[in-house]
Structure formats: structure tokens, C-alpha cells
């Protein structure tokens, strides 16, 4: 039986992997521009971290986790998101002991979801987390960084949707109002939402079902219930976004799929992505550190989906930079020239010139076609005549011009051509 890739996962082949690297490089540059340093955490954690951190009422914990027992019977889970993991590391390593920590991560995440366009079981995220400060300026900084990341990739004019979910002071009254609103319409909600209503009524606002959306359109909104502190925080976030020149729209219906958010929540969306329109989501989570057993540490962050970012770049025809290609292909004309070709190849590589050798024994026409396809600038052809004369025949793959150089000039020729 042929073994294939697991459902909801894919191989990123060379024709696409350089595009991913391009996006990751942009992520690193933006992180450094905004003062965020990299953190790398394990891809699996104790299951309890996510149950307590993300919340046992969330869809992720209820339905989407890859959970397994190890040989000692410990329950472990492949990380479904980065925030709880990063906060665990911040608490465990006391990273906020003397102030605050600004961290970024890039890596794979795992959710047992129904695979479809833009939704996979292994996907990748780039995320930022700023922990240790409750300043609304940091909420705006996080949103600014997300927009700068997309801008750097050529993705302009995305919509930032902003909302506030209040805090443990003001949310209970809102929750009550929401439950009584939905109770009267319970029969028309989808099966999931009937459950959500009991476990986590805010999640009903996040349902993708059309009937639930229609009902939710008239539901009470958190912004009408904010306490003065939350209201003030929200106002400053909006002002700072204006200072940074970021276009945003208040969307009173955004609640986000995770339980840990307090105050600011936001999503960056595109109408070119079909049903999976969110490319990035984030917000403030002031109570997460305590939920997972640490002291109180206010924090704010975002996570951007790399697959959806790449898909949108493809749709908009954005540049992914140049596909890596060798500058030179060395072509031994026949068997007796292979060692000489290897010697030239070694010299080129030792001088930092990306180069390769034609290992296959195809006819010369096919070899040149392969070299052109690989995107090389030059072919260095070494035959018995060239060897005897201490020469190399050079073929420019761009204009097909042929020339002869001295064997000793193999490196110099390329370096000169670069300037």
C-alpha cells in the first residue's frame, strides 16, 4: 500500500518552500524592528496547559486537540496555538521579573479540524506576545506590527477589525444579557451553539453558521457594557492606532475563539480568502498567567496564519523574492573530465559562489535545458580540449553567448560579472 501524507497536512516542496522562507524572513525583520526577540517552545505540552489556558469551553479544547498519552501515561497535546505555550515559558523562566518581555515565534501548530481551503490540521503561525505591561499603547503596537508585517509582504488594504471584550468586572453583566437574549431563540441555533450557550455564550457570536449569524446580528454587544477603565483603555488603543496611521473598523461582534481574552481583541481579514477570511487574530489576555498558575501578568499578542498569508499573496500576485538558483553549473563533457569539473566546482563553492554540477548523463541539449530550468546564470563546460588548453567554455544562460576563460579565472569571472 502506498503511504500518503496525513489528511489536513501537506509537503511544502521546493517550488513553494522559498516562498515560506520569504514570509518568515519578513516576520523576523518586523519582529526586530519592533523590538521582539525569538522564543522557541516545544511542539507538545501537558494537556492541562491548554485546558486551563485556552479554556475547557473553547472549540479548540473540546474538539480540535491532538491529545495522546506517552509511555508513562502522561497526557500530552500537540500545541494548537502559541499564546498559552509562550505564557507558560514566561512564567516558568521568570521572563517578566524585572519588567516586561517582548517575544515572537514562528512554527507549526496542530488542530483536528475539517480540512478545506485555508484550514489544515498542521498549519504555521507567526506570532508576537508582549507581556508584563497593561498599557493600551502596547495593544496598538501589536496591531501596528501585524499591519507592518502584511505591508512588508505587499498586502496593503487589509481590514483591521477591533473590539473590546471587557474584563472580569464588566463581562458578567454582559454575559447575562447575552444568555437571556439567546435563550428565547435557542431552538433556531445550531447544535454546537445550543451547547455553547450553556458553556460559553460569547462563542455563539463567533459561529460561522448562517442561521446563528442572523440571530446574533441583533444580540447585545459588549461595548455597551464596558466599565470606565475598559472604556478608557479602548479609547486610548483607538487613538494610538490613529497616531500610527492604521485604518481600523470597530466590529462589535468579534469575540475570538479562545477564552483568555480581556479588553482588546482584533482580527485582520481579507474578502479575498473565502470562508476562511481571518489572516491574523489577537488581543489582550490579562488573566492567562494566573489561569496557568503564575502571578498576574498582563499581556497582549497576535498570531498570523502563514498558509493564509501565502494564499493571499498568491491571489494578489505579490512578490516572493527570487527563487534561489545556483549561479553556475559545471558541465563535465565526458567521464575523463569529471575530476577537473569537481575541482572547479570546489573552488567556486569555497569562494562563496553558489554552484552545482550536472551529475546526470543526459545528452548536452537536455543538460542545457535542465540548467536553464534551474535558473543558473552560467554553464562552465569542461571537455578534453578545454582541459588540455587550461580553459573553460562559458555559456551565458541569459543571452546564450559563449566565451572561453582561463581555468584560473573561474572564480574571478563570476565575481566581476556581479558588479
**Partner whose footprint covers residue 278, from Mg ion, ligand ATP, none (CB < 5 to 8 Å by kind):** ligand ATP
Closest CA to 38 of 99, 103, 112: 103
Closer residue to ligand ATP, CB minimum distance, 222 or 357: 222
Binding mask 240-279 for Mg ion (x = CB under 5 A): -----------------x----------------------
261 binds, among Mg ion, ligand ATP, none (CB under 5 to 8 A by kind): none
276: partner contacted, choices ligand ATP, Mg ion, none (Cβ within 5-8 A by kind): ligand ATP
Residues 6+ away with beta carbon under 8 Å from 373: none
**Closest residue (Cβ) to ligand ATP?**
305
| Cβ nearer to ligand ATP, comparing 215 with 258 | 258
Looking at the Cβ atoms of 303 and 394, the one nearer to ligand ATP is 303
- What is the binding site for ligand ATP (CB under 6 A)? 81, 111, 113, 118-120, 123, 125, 257, 276, 278-281, 303, 305, 307-308
Least distance between ligand ATP and beta carbon 191 (Å): 18
Place of cell 477570511: 277
Q: Which does 305 bind (CB under 5 to 8 A by kind): Mg ion, ligand ATP, none?
A: ligand ATP
Phi, psi of 329 (to 5 degrees): -115, 125
Minimum distance from residue 277 beta carbon to Mg ion (Å): 12
Nearest to 410 by CA among 357, 341, 360: 341
Residue whose CB is less far from ligand ATP, 238 or 256: 256
CB-count burial class (<10 Å; 0-12, 13-18, 19+) for 67: middle
301 binds, among ligand ATP, Mg ion, none (CB under 5 to 8 A by kind): none
Q: CB 256 → ligand ATP: shortest distance, Å?
A: 6
279 close to 312: Cβ distance less than 8 angstroms: yes
**Closest distance between ligand ATP and the C-beta of residue 184, in Å?**
27
What, of Mg ion, ligand ATP, none, does residue 281 touch, CB below 5 to 8 Å by kind?
Answer: ligand ATP
323 binds, among ligand ATP, Mg ion, none (CB under 5 to 8 A by kind): none
Residue 260 near residue 49, CB atoms below 8 Å: no
Q: What is the DSSP string of 70-87?
A: -TT--EEEE-S-SHHHHH
What the block records as the C-alpha cell of 159 is 481590514
Q: In the block, which residue shows the cell 480568502?
A: 273
- Identify the three-state secondary structure at position 40: coil
Q: Binds 154, which of ligand ATP, Mg ion, none (CB < 5 to 8 A, cut-off by type)?
A: none
Provide the angle, in degrees to the nearest 10, between the axes of the packed helices 410-418 and 338-350: 40
The distance of closest approach from Cβ of residue 255 to ligand ATP in the complex, given in angstroms and rounded to an integer, is 10
Q: Toward Mg ion, which CB reaches closer, 160 or 303?
A: 303
| Dihedral pair phi/psi, residue 177, rounded to 5° | -60, -40
Q: Work out the number of other CB atoms within 10 angstroms of the CB of residue 204.
A: 27
Minimum Å gap between C-beta 330 and ligand ATP is 42
> What pairs with residue 382 in β-bridges?
332
Burial of 320 by CB count in 10 Å (0-12 exposed, 13-18 middle, 19+ buried)?
Answer: middle
Residues 6 or more apart from 148 whose CB is under 8 A from it? Answer: 30, 33, 34
Rank residues 8 and 257 by Cβ distance to Mg ion and give the closer one: 257
Measure CA of the first residue to CA of the last residue in the chain; give whole Å.
54
CB of 109 to Mg ion, least distance (A): 11
Query: Which parts of this chain interact with Mg ion (CB under 5 A)?
Result: 257
Amino acid at each position: 500500500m502506498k503511504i500518503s501524507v496525513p489528511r489536513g497536512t501537506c509537503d511544502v516542496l521546493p517550488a513553494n518552500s522559498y516562498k515560506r522562507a520569504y514570509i518568515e524572513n519578513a516576520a523576523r525583520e518586523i519582529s526586530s524592528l519592533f523590538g521582539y526577540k525569538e522564543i522557541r517552545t516545544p511542539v507538545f505540552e501537558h494537556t492541562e496547559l491548554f485546558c486551563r489556558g485556552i479554556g475547557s469551553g473553547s472549540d479548540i479544547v473540546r474538539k480540535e486537540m491532538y491529545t495522546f498519552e506517552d509511555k508513562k501515561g502522561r497526557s500530552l497535546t500537540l500545541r494548537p496555538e502559541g499564546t498559552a505555550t509562550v505564557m507558560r515559558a514566561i512564567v516558568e523562566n521568570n521572563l517578566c521579573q524585572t519588567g516586561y518581555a517582548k517575544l515572537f515565534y514562528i512554527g507549526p501548530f496542530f488542530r483536528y479540524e475539517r480540512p478545506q481551503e485555508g484550514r489544515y490540521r498542521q498549519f504555521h503561525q507567526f506570532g508576537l506576545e508582549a507581556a508584563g505591561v497593561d498599557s493600551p499603547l502596547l495593544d496598538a503596537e501589536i496591531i501596528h506590527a501585524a499591519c507592518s508585517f502584511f505591508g512588508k509582504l505587499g498586502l496593503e488594504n487589509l481590514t483591521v477589525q477591533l473590539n473590546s471584550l471587557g474584563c472580569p468586572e464588566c463581562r458578567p453583566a454582559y454575559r447575562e444579557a447575552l444568555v437571556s437574549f439567546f435563550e428565547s431563540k435557542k431552538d433556531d441555533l445550531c447544535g454546537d451553539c445550543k451547547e455553547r450557550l450553556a458553556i460559553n455564550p460569547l462563542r455563539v457570536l463567533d459561529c460561522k453558521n448562517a442561521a446563528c449569524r442572523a440571530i446574533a446580528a441583533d444580540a447585545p454587544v459588549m461595548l455597551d457594557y464596558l466599565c470606565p477603565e475598559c472604556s478608557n483603555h479602548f479609547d486610548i488603543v483607538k487613538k494610538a492606532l490613529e497616531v500610527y496611521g492604521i485604518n481600523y473598523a470597530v466590529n462589535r461582534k468579534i469575540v475570538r475563539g479562545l477564552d483568555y481574552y480581556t479588553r482588546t481583541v482584533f482580527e485582520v481579514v481579507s474578502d479575498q480568502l473565502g470562508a476562511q477570511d481571518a489572516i491574523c487574530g489577537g488581543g489582550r489576555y490579562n488573566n492567562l498567567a494566573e489561569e496557568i498558575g503564575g502571578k498576574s501578568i498582563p499581556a497582549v499578542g497576535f498570531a498570523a496564519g502563514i498558509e493564509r498569508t501565502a494564499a493571499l499573496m498568491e491571489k494578489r500576485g505579490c512578490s516572493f523574492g527570487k527563487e534561489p538558483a545556483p549561479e553556475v553549473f559545471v558541465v563535465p563533457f565526458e567521464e575523463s573530465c569529471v575530476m577537473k569539473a569537481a575541482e572547479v566546482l570546489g573552488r567556486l563553492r569555497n569562494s562563496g559562489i553558489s554552484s552545482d554540477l550536472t551529475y546526470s548523463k543526459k545528452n548536452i541539449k537536455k543538460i542545457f535545458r535542465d540548467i536553464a530550468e534551474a535558473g543558473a546564470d552560467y554553464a562552465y563546460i569542461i571537455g578534453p580540449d578545454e582541459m588540455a588548453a587550461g580553459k573553460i567554455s562559458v555559456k551565458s544562460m541569459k543571452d546564450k553567448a559563449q566565451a572561453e576563460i582561463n581555468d584560473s579565472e573561474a572564480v574571478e569571472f563570476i565575481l566581476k560579472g556581479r558588479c
